[in-house]
Structure 1
Amino acid sequence: MSCAFMFVICCITEIWPSASRSYLRRIVNMLDSSADFLDRARKLGANDEELRNLQALGYDTFGKLAFATSYTPGQQDETALKQLAAEITGSDPPLAARLPIVRRLFFESYTLAAADMQMRVERKDDSAPRKLANAERSARYDDQRKCLSGIDMTGELEPSNALIDLVYNMAEEDQLKYVRWEECTKRDQELMGIKVDPVWKPDSSGLIRETKVSEALKADTNTDLKLRLALQRRSLSFDQARLVDYNVALLKAMDAAEVRLLLQPLQGGVKRKADALEEDPKKSKSSASSGEYAKLQQTIANLQGQVKNLRANSSHNPTKGRKGRGKGAKTNLIRMPPQLIGMAPTNAQGEPNCYDFNLKGCSKAKPGERCPKGWHCCMRWGCGKPHPQFEHQ
């Protein structure tokens, strides 16, 4: 590096130390930005042919042009620089009016390369995050809108510059960090104005200086809709920072075991299965196994039997409805064994049937006769013959 160029760098970093570092943080990310390079070249006066030649030669960023030749700023011999200018302008020797444009564009490219190296060497953990340049930010925003044509990236879905810079800094530092919900702010919040307060605190070099601290913006996530929009802005910022593609991030998450576990349906109860069977018995029978289908049929029959029991009890209980369940009130509840649920607890006259006779047999009376527990008759609905229910055919 020449002495003249070193003098320029020293003046920038020593005469205005606080301002220069802030300025360098804003411009060093322009080094590898094609959009910023082409925008700056146009502002310096480069015509369309020269821009096409730069792209054809592969010098489409400041970083590439800075090392396109062995010439360094301040060097007396400009032969290498003029040869580069001839390739860019398309005329050999280059025209006198076009050479200053190439010389200035090369000088800025070389300066940015040196500033980027200085920032990487002096960078500390508490240094301010690097930010996207305006031209690069606009170019990425336009590319994102073209790719995601089905999303209206305005208003609620436009990520703030702070959120995009936060994600972009992850790529610069090569460290993935968690972005909190309240950090997923939108651009409209920044445009409304940010309150700035002066604060005295030490800088990266340890010197206490007065710095302007902006009031931190927070995203509103009070409702489900606002939370969904905030998370969508976070996804769009990762896409704009070119860390995660917006179209396939979701697909990978759906294949994750923890996500697929949460998407599994809950186990339904017996009543839900019985309702489905009543609505479409053929469909339920084809989808369920034969054993499960038979079990559901038995459950339905038992439930229907219980309804008949309640109706029979209400018709044979003349005191039903006269008294409540106060002290001393009589009830006509019949507790049946689980094996007999759904069958007739009484005969047509309202007299009880013997449960033991219908379960395992009873020796206290013959079939068709009555024992102390009830009549020895079949408890199957509509039968009532002198045999136990397990022998019913």
Structure 2
Amino acid sequence: MATLIDSEAQFLQRAKDFKISDGMTCNLKLAGLTTFGLLAYAHGQPGQALNDAAFDAWIAGNLDSAASLADSSGVKRLLFEAQTLVLAALKEQITSPESSVVKRVPAAERESRMAALRAQLTGLVLEGPLEPSHSLLDLCASMHQLNEVRYLAPEKCVSRTHEVLHQKQPTKQIDISADSLVVKEARDVPDSSVQSALQVQEALLRRGIALAFAGLVTYPEYSRYVTALFMHLHREPPPGYNRCAVSQLVAADKAVWQKLLEENKTPRRTAAGNLPLDTELSAALHSYQVSFALLPLPSKGKGPSVKRNAAGKAEQDDHKVWEPPLKKQKGKGKQKGRGKPSVPAEIAKLGGVARNPNNENICFAFNCSGCSEAAEGARCRRGWHICTKCFGVHSIRTHDKSS
């Protein structure tokens, strides 16, 4: 990610601000002077005063022999600013080599890269909930600059709309350097709410766009990683277990980045031209360390206790027919006859009962016409989806086929 002194877009923007003609700008490009860092050492020495005669001779010999006074003045101003920025960057590098403050991406560089990203991702609308905030872009650019992996939680990956609407008032922050006390302005953005699956998915996609903005991933490969992560929400859980929750996806995503940190992976493009995160994210997601976070969790209620034979089918004791226990009733009148629950005639004629051996209700709808509120062997609001006759994981309508 280009810094201020290495940004070509910011250099061209400043040339326009200084009213330098297009012809002189083209001459600067032909000479290879496209950034502040290159221009700072093209003539003179940073920190030293410019000699007018030497500068005019340099303009005439290298850029344009018939340069106008306006172009000559604009290039001199651009050169002075370039040398000043280089000196400031060198001073910051010496006094605070490991600064914890995230540097902002220059405005012209940010707009240029976002425009190129929009042109590249034609099928994706980078607006509204999918447009990453400037703070998120700065975090990913800092990751590229330091060449180290950092975990960006979904609540930190806010959108540009959230940043504008919820940005707090600027506060003053004291920065103690090696030889001075500097008061800087800090702008904090509150975390966004990521509770539903859609909010988490949008946050992870915004993070992928910001990583692609910083040149750390290719967006199609990152999108494949997010799709593989959210496919766990569609997996059917075993009987007695819940589906994979959204909180498990967030925990798995955190475990993926933790694994990359433990293996000391670097995010920058390699000498062969490959981006390590394109393959390492998916590889870490399919590792057994991360798989533990995505396993289905058992439901709170106890599952039906069914005795099975060697073939895996439910066994039934033909000599002992279970009946639900009757509670002793006190008093007379309306309380009389409430001990034994009623069973639909369709189930009663097939020998079915109302409750399992654990005295838990069985869903009559599942055994009669079918119930779509839960899977076979699971529990809905009416009761367990098991056979009312043998308590196997099937309905009483298919009892003879399953036995």
TM class by smaller structure: 0.5 to 0.7
**How does 1:148-159 map onto structure 2 within 5 Å?**
148-159=121-132
SS, match of residue 149 in structure 1: coil
Q: Which residue of 1 aligns with 2:25?
A: 51
The one-letter amino acid paired with 2:6 is D
1:184, distance to aligned residue in structure 2 (A) = 0.6
1:191 to 139, 153, 164: 164
Asked if the contact 1:69/1:81 (under 8 Å) is kept, the reply is no
The one-letter amino acid paired with 2:201 is R
1:125, distance to aligned residue in structure 2 (A) = 3.8
Relative to the length of structure 1, the TM-score reads: 0.55
Judged with a 3 Å threshold, the aligned counterparts in structure 2 of structure 1 residues 115 and 99 are, in CA distance, closer, same or farther, namely: same
Tell me the distance in 2 between the aligned counterparts of 1:200 and 1:42. 33
Q: Which residue of 1 aligns with 2:286?
A: 259
**How does 1:10-49 map onto structure 2 within 5 Å?**
29-49=3-23
* Count of matched residue pairs: 255
Tell me the distance in 2 between the aligned counterparts of 1:299 and 1:247. 45
Asked if the contact 1:29/1:133 (under 8 Å) is kept, the reply is yes
Tell me the distance in 2 between the aligned counterparts of 1:67 and 1:200. 34
Q: Which residue of 2 aligns with 1:162?
A: 135
Tell me the distance in 1 between the aligned counterparts of 2:39 and 2:50. 17
The one-letter amino acid paired with 1:74 is A
1:230 to 203, 216, 224: 203
Higher relative contact order (CA 8 A, sep 6+): 2
1:83, distance to aligned residue in structure 2 (A) = 2.3
Tell me the distance in 1 between the aligned counterparts of 2:28 and 2:153. 42
Q: Which residue of 2 aligns with 1:82?
A: 57
Tell me the distance in 2 between the aligned counterparts of 1:211 and 1:221. 31
SS, match of residue 222 in structure 1: coil
Q: Which residue of 2 aligns with 1:179?
A: 152
SS, match of residue 279 in structure 2: helix
Judged with a 3 Å threshold, the aligned counterparts in structure 2 of structure 1 residues 181 and 46 are, in CA distance, closer, same or farther, namely: same
Judged with a 3 Å threshold, the aligned counterparts in structure 2 of structure 1 residues 124 and 153 are, in CA distance, closer, same or farther, namely: same
1:196, distance to aligned residue in structure 2 (A) = 2.5
**How does 1:256-335 map onto structure 2 within 5 Å?**
256=283, 259=286
1:94, distance to aligned residue in structure 2 (A) = 3.3
| Cα deviation digits, residues 57-87 of structure 1 (max 9, x gap) | 2111111111123466514363255323553
| Cα deviation digits, residues 116-137 of structure 1 (max 9, x gap) | 1111111254552211011111
Asked if the contact 1:82/1:93 (under 8 Å) is kept, the reply is no
2:79 to 102, 106, 109: 106
Q: Which consecutive unaligned segments of at least 5 residues does structure 1 have? A: 1-27, 267-297, 314-319, 327-393
SS, match of residue 220 in structure 2: coil
1:220, distance to aligned residue in structure 2 (A) = 1.8
Tell me the distance in 1 between the aligned counterparts of 2:143 and 2:157. 15
The one-letter amino acid paired with 2:204 is L
Tell me the distance in 1 between the aligned counterparts of 2:93 and 2:41. 18
Seq. identity, %? 25
SS, match of residue 247 in structure 1: helix
Q: Which residue of 2 aligns with 1:122?
A: 95
Task: Name the stretch that deviates more: 49-58 or 33-42.
Answer: 49-58
The one-letter amino acid paired with 2:157 is C
Judged with a 3 Å threshold, the aligned counterparts in structure 2 of structure 1 residues 185 and 112 are, in CA distance, closer, same or farther, namely: same
SS, match of residue 159 in structure 1: coil
Q: Which residue of 2 aligns with 1:63?
A: 37
Please identify the structure whose Cα radius of gyration is greater: 1
Judged with a 3 Å threshold, the aligned counterparts in structure 2 of structure 1 residues 154 and 61 are, in CA distance, closer, same or farther, namely: same
Q: Which consecutive unaligned segments of at least 5 residues does structure 2 have? A: 226-277, 296-309, 327-403
